[in-house]
Structure 1
Amino acid sequence: MKNKKVYCEPFTIEKGYNFEVHRVNYAENDDYSCFMHFHQVHEIIIFDQVDGVYFYSQGQSKLQDNDIVFTPSLETHDFELTPAEKSWHIIQFLPEFLEQQGLLEVADCFQHGMHLRLSDEHITDIKTQVRWLVAAYQQNPHSDKSLTLLKLLLIWISENAISVATESNQAVKNHSSYLRLKPVIDLFRHQACVDMNLDQAAGLCHLSPAYFSRMFKSVFRCNYSEYANQHKIYSAARMLSQTNLSITDISFELNFSSPSHFIALFKKQFGMTPKKYKTEIESRI
């Protein structure tokens, strides 16, 4: 039986770090997991192989090999990929990194989600820079070399990448359904656990439960209860990597019915127990 791999999450920045970079790859027909979500950090994904669609604030667009996507902190996004072989590097960095490193001009380019494409010449340059960044990160993620290489990569992308046109005309965040759901969406953006049933969520948006449910699924492509559960699981992954809380403490902090229930759901989502995930995080640090 194949182990289930994690798609973009739960890679998260360890407390005290400015950024993290990881290589991700899947063989054909490998399982992967993703849902409409957001991060507390900025995220760049530089694809090697990919076939699918990127859903983000500006709409949706078709992905192809060597594309780049950027999603800023707290912006909702999702990917729908085919079973074909796929691979990429994922770089997550703190929003304040741009200001701290004097990259205010570059920061203007990274204000909203972007699907980007490079010329063949610049693809080679970017891939070389990513290899350098990974090597420097593995040696010392806090070194001047690591931070300088990340700065160079961000500058290179801002100066040379071209935006890919979206397939839909209306940005997700401006869609009427998204705007009607905003009271609930804001809760998910700012709380690790949204302990609210369907009727309560619908009431917060001044909608009937049935209409809310249809509207929510049209935006997030899963039903409300599924999303709420997955949001808790992804919050748990962040807490495992960024805090010293025990598995029992996290399970109660996020209102799981019991630690064993939390462990079972986490393993179903990510293919490993919370303990193993935390061990892997600590070993790479």
Structure 2
Amino acid sequence: MNNSLFNLDKIIDLEKWHKLQDSLALVTKMAIITVDYKGTPVTQHSYCQPFCQSVRKDSSLSPYCQTCDARGGLEAVRLNKPYIYMCHFNIIDIAIPIIIDNQYIGAIMAGQIKLHDTETPLEQIVTRPSNSETNNKFKALEEEYLSLPTLSYEEVTTIADMLFHLCNYIVEEAIHKNSTIDMYKKALSIDIDNPSMDSMSSSDRTYRNIQAIQNELSSTLIDTKIKKVISNEIRSANPLLQPSFDYIYHHKNENITLSEMAKLCHISPSYFSRIFIKETGEKFSVFAPRLKIEWAKQLLETTDQSINQISDELGFCDAGYFIKTFKKFETLTPAVYRNMYRNNHTFKNSSELP
């Protein structure tokens, strides 16, 4: 996710985006803020409610708000759709993921409203222990709390879907526009870098430029296809595990043991194993090789690398073990997988010819 292509501040004009965000907040009656894939705000809050402003400025209450934001965003990514939940003050918030080509690049955090239909079952994502100090702070802000906008659950879900589709569409179009401009600039540079272009007619140069754009587009699509799996790093709901996921994705050619990962996370192997299963749903001994096989499938589909080369790149001890592991997960060998994939695509392409 280090590619600037997927950094929100590189994709869109944040000044114009914030004006749109202000308008959306005004129309929907919701406070809205935009964050990047790390959870870092890239805009200011639009129409943050006085109650929430006061709570977020309070040193003892603000951490609960931040935890709500973080957990809400992760749940939205997991569901791949807007996630509606209650904060620690039972206020309704929404996390709306921005996901382009299976890449999570940020989120819209909206809400700070109450529901008309208070019996609608929603998860309170963070619970805060009640104490006299907190109760006194709430009483001091009770008037601001009561003045929070109120909407029906149907209105909230409609707004959430609207923001989800609108924001993802705008960002996707911006990415495509930026990619097209970059390719066009590269194609135009042919005129300068290649002296032989001077003798060509205008139509010939246009044709060559179009060819260059097509070639660049083809290359970009292949890169994107690989990155869908290879670069789509996991953001762990449990921060203790994040160093292990980061290491796995940045050291694809290594054979990593559970003990090494536990040491990296500064926890015991038994505790690492327990929380890893809770996070991923499978043992580390299954997760790590399965992930390598997913990377291998992408390389088989999109490159001409030999089985031995792919085996070496992904850190298998030898090609025989790589083939055995691949067959365990896919029920066929890497060579058969590649042939089936290419035959299917050749058939598909030929069937589309006029």
TM over 0.5: no
The TM-score, its normalising length taken from structure 2, stands at 0.34
Structure number with bigger Rg: 2
Q: Which has the higher helix share?
A: 2
Which structure is richer in relative contact order (CA contacts within 8 A, separation 6 or more)?
A: 1
